[in-house]
Amino acid sequence: MNLRGIDLNLLTVFEAVYQERSQVRASERLGMTQPAVSNALARLRHLFDDPLFRGRTRGLVPTPRAERLYEDLHRALDGIRGVLVERLAFDPAGCHRPFVVGVSSSSGLLYGPLLYERMQAEAPHARLKVRSIDPEAGVPALLREHRLDLALCHARFEDPQLEQPVFAEDELVIMVRADHPRIRSMPTLEACLKERFVCSFNLLHRAHEAALNNFLDEIRERTVLEIPTPLAFIHAVGRTDLLVITHRRLAERFREIHGVRYYRLPIDVPPIRCHLVWHREMTADPAHRWLREQLRAVLDDLERKLSSWPA
C-alpha cells in the first residue's frame, strides 16, 4: 500500500473516537468540528470496509474489526509521538490543551484548586479536568487510553507499563467543630469511644493495619451518619457534635476555610501512602513532565503548612 495516498490524520480521529466513545468529545479533544469528525469516520469506514462504530445515544461501541485495529494503530501513533516529543519543547504560555487528573476520595478538593492556581500562573490558557476514579481498578486502562494524564491512587497496580512512585504520605486524624463541648484537646481512646461519628463509605472498609482496623471496628459501631464522600464532612461537623476520621491534609484545608479543629488519633498507625501514577510512554513528554512538576510543587506548599500541629 502506498501511504502517500492515505491521509494519516484520519488515524488520530479513529484513535480519539475509540477512546472517547463519542464524536462530540473526540471533536473537542482534537479541536475539530463535529462534521469534520463525521466526515473522517466516513472515510475510515470506506478505507477499512467496516462500520467501525455502532450506536449513538449511549455512546459509540467499536466493532470487532475496530477493536483489532485500535491496538496496532494506537501503538504506531504512540511511537510517532515519542519520536516527535524528543525534539519538541513545551511552552506553558502557549499551551491550550486540557490536562486530566484522576483522583480518589477527597483528593480532588485538596489538590484540584491549588493545582489550577499554579497552572494559571504559567499556562493561563490550559484547562484542568479533575475526574473521580472510583473504583481505582479502572485506572490502568484510563491511562493507557490517554483518558487520564495522571492519577493519584492509594492502590498500586501490577502493570509494568505504569510509573507509580509514592507521591505523599498522610495520616488519619480526628476532626471536630471548633466549639465542640467535650473534645478540646487530643482525645484519649476512652473519650473517643464515648462519642458518635460521621464517616464516609470508603472509610468503613477494612484497613490493612491491625491496630487501625481494630480502632475502625469500634468507630463503625458508633457511626450514626454515613455519607458517600468526605467532601460533605464539613456540613455534618459544623452542625453536630459528631467526630470525623479523615486525612490530615484535608482536615488542615477545612481548618483554613471553616475553622474546625483536628487532633492525632489515640493509637499509633503507619502513614497512609498515595501514589502518583502515569503511563510510562508519557514520562519523556515535556507537557506531561511539566504537569507532574506543578503537582509536586503543590504538595511542597502543603507540606510546609503541615510542618507543625495546630495549637
- Residues paired with residue 225 on neighbouring β-strands, in sequence order: 198
Superfamily of domain 172-270: Periplasmic binding protein-like II (3.40.190.10)
Give the chain's length: 311
Q: What confidence score (pLDDT) does residue 20 get?
A: 83
- What architecture is the 92-169+273-305 domain classified under in CATH? 3-Layer(aba) Sandwich (3.40)
Structural contact between residues 178 and 263, judged by C-beta atoms closer than 8 angstroms: no
**Cα 169 from Cα 278, distance rounded (Å):** 18
**Cα 23 from Cα 37, distance rounded (Å):** 7
Return residue ranges of the chain for CATH 3.40.190.10. 92-169+273-305, 172-270
Strands 127-132 and 98-103: parallel
What's the predicted TM-score (pTM) here?
0.68
- Residues paired with residue 270 on neighbouring β-strands, in sequence order: none
Please give the residue that has the higher pLDDT: either 65 or 56: 65
- Confidence check: pLDDT of 303 > 90: no
**Cα 175 from Cα 177, distance rounded (Å):** 7
Please give the residue that has the higher pLDDT: either 188 or 229: 188
- Confidence check: pLDDT of 188 > 70: yes
Overall CATH class of domain 3-85? mainly alpha
- Confidence check: pLDDT of 238 > 70: yes
Residue 190: pLDDT band with limits 50, 70, 90: very high
Structural contact between residues 132 and 102, judged by C-beta atoms closer than 8 angstroms: yes
- Confidence check: pLDDT of 2 > 60: no
Return residue ranges of the chain for CATH 1.10.10.10. 3-85
Mean pLDDT of 193-218: 76
Strands 243-247 and 172-176: antiparallel
